[in-house]
Amino acid sequence: MQKRFGWVLSLLALAAISCGAKIDPNQIRIGEFGSLTGAQATFGISTDNGIKLAVDEINAAGGINGKTLKVISYDDEGKPEEAAVVVTKLITQDKAQFILGEVASSLSLAAAPIAQQNKVPLISPSSTNPKVTQVGDYIFRVCFIDPFQGQVMADFAMNNLKAKTAVILRDQKSDYSMGLADFFVKRFKEKGGTILLDQSYVAGDIDFKSQLTSIREQKPDVIFVPGYYTEVGLIAKQARELGIMAPLLGGDGWDSSKLYEIGGAALDGCYFSSHYSPESKDPKVQDFVKRYQAKYGQVPDALATLGYDSVGVLAAALKSAKSLSGADVRDALAATKNYPGVTGNISLDANRDAVKPAVVLKISGNKASYVTTVNP
């Protein structure tokens, strides 16, 4: 009896601790959700690193109007249903006032309606599918969108690689991949190119040889694979095994060190578009790369940099907002003009999307190097 009573007491104590301790009036609570594990784990981890670096720097510089930023992060394992759960938890239990999150568009789309309903501003650092911000007026992003990214890669294929024919290999379960593929096809056709074949796979597949065999028969100039790095690495490997030498092109979903770990030499001579290149000569970029390397011992990828910029945009809005209420910060965010981010100057348009340049990178020797910048 005594023993059971002890249990109840300790449970109550635990409940008391977890309810009471978190609300501190001198803190601004920012919720973060991301795939810290799962098939897109490097996206979540990089973004998280970028966010934490920015928050630490802001707090070290005295915070915002005397208040410090506190980040509460949850792992959504790269699953939409999990993203919805943790964002609900962030808003209802952790009382997050603002939310940063998700790289993958499918996951941002799962969480955005919840933030919108609760009138909590949500900034996606790097979801590029246009549908994400169409959810409502509390949803923002600090990256460009897929119509632009698809256009960049289609133009690059035609102008720089002199491609006349292309085939598509898209992930039919991902909003990001489907959208990006559509925009690429549209632009490529408009400019007079021919799409020979439009094939698909499902995230999690491991065998792509059948798709690639029928792609090989078409002898395309380029193959557009707007997927995420795990599958892209396997696809590149199997394509080279089948003797397909056409370059693979892709989007920012490729930007991960894991890509090279899986694909290795098969990726040499492939190109992808991204948000920034650590090789940029811009002192702002070089300075950031140095600070990031000092803290994490690696070169920041695009997602880390966008994570960093998302905090910067939020902090700027918090400073200029009339109050820290959701509605006032929302208005301040919507008015963001020419914020000097590491990934370029960020201005939000009427759709709450950032308008900014994209870079094209070329892979060789397990490294992506800068090729060109394309302005909107």
Residues that bind other proteins (CB under 8 A): 37-39, 41, 77-78, 172, 199-202, 204-207, 209-211, 213-214, 216-217, 230, 234, 237, 241-243, 258, 261-262, 264
In angstroms, give the least distance from the CB of 180 to other proteins.
Answer: 18
In angstroms, give the least distance from the CB of 266 to other proteins.
Answer: 9
Measure the CA–CA gap between 281 and 13, rounded to whole angstroms.
Answer: 55
Helix H or strand E segment including 290: helix 283-296
Measure the CA–CA gap between 260 and 363, rounded to whole angstroms.
Answer: 9
Positive or negative, the CA dihedral 269, 273, 277, 282 is positive
Cβ-contact 284, 292 below 8 angstroms:
no
In angstroms, give the least distance from the CB of 207 to other proteins.
Answer: 6
Order of strands across the sheet that contains 248-250:
194-201, 165-171, 222-224, 248-250, 271-274, 358-364, 367-374
In angstroms, give the least distance from the CB of 253 to other proteins.
Answer: 15
Q: What is the DSSP letter of 96?
A: -
Complex with other proteins: residue 161 or 197, whichever CB lies closer: 197
Measure the CA–CA gap between 259 and 335, rounded to whole angstroms.
Answer: 37
Complex with other proteins: residue 285 or 363, whichever CB lies closer: 363
Complex with other proteins: residue 233 or 250, whichever CB lies closer: 233
Please give the full DSSP string across 9-65, using - where no structure is assigned: HHHHHHHHHHHHTT--TTEEEEEEEE-SSSTTHHHHHHHHHHHHHHHHHHHHTTTBT
* Amino acid letter, 260: Y
In angstroms, give the least distance from the CB of 89 to other proteins.
Answer: 19
How many Cα atoms sit within 13 Å of 346 on the Cβ side? 33
Complex with other proteins: residue 24 or 261, whichever CB lies closer: 261
Cβ-contact 301, 46 below 8 angstroms:
yes
In angstroms, give the least distance from the CB of 216 to other proteins.
Answer: 7
Cβ-contact 215, 199 below 8 angstroms:
yes
Complex with other proteins: residue 24 or 207, whichever CB lies closer: 207
In angstroms, give the least distance from the CB of 65 to other proteins.
Answer: 39
In angstroms, give the least distance from the CB of 131 to other proteins.
Answer: 21
Complex with other proteins: residue 261 or 287, whichever CB lies closer: 261
| Count of Cβ atoms closer than 10 Å to residue 115 Cβ | 27
Each as own residue / partner, the long-range contacts of residues 289-295 (CB below 8 Å, 24 or more positions apart, any chain) are: 291/53, 291/57, 292/49, 292/50, 292/53, 295/49, 295/53
Complex with other proteins: residue 40 or 128, whichever CB lies closer: 40
Complex with other proteins: residue 79 or 191, whichever CB lies closer: 79
Residue 229 dihedral angles phi and psi, to the nearest 5°: -60, -35
* Amino acid letter, 187: R
In angstroms, give the least distance from the CB of 265 to other proteins.
Answer: 10
In angstroms, give the least distance from the CB of 256 to other proteins.
Answer: 11
Complex with other proteins: residue 218 or 372, whichever CB lies closer: 218
Which of 110, 179, 116, 109 is CA-nearest to residue 151?
179
Complex with other proteins: residue 48 or 77, whichever CB lies closer: 77
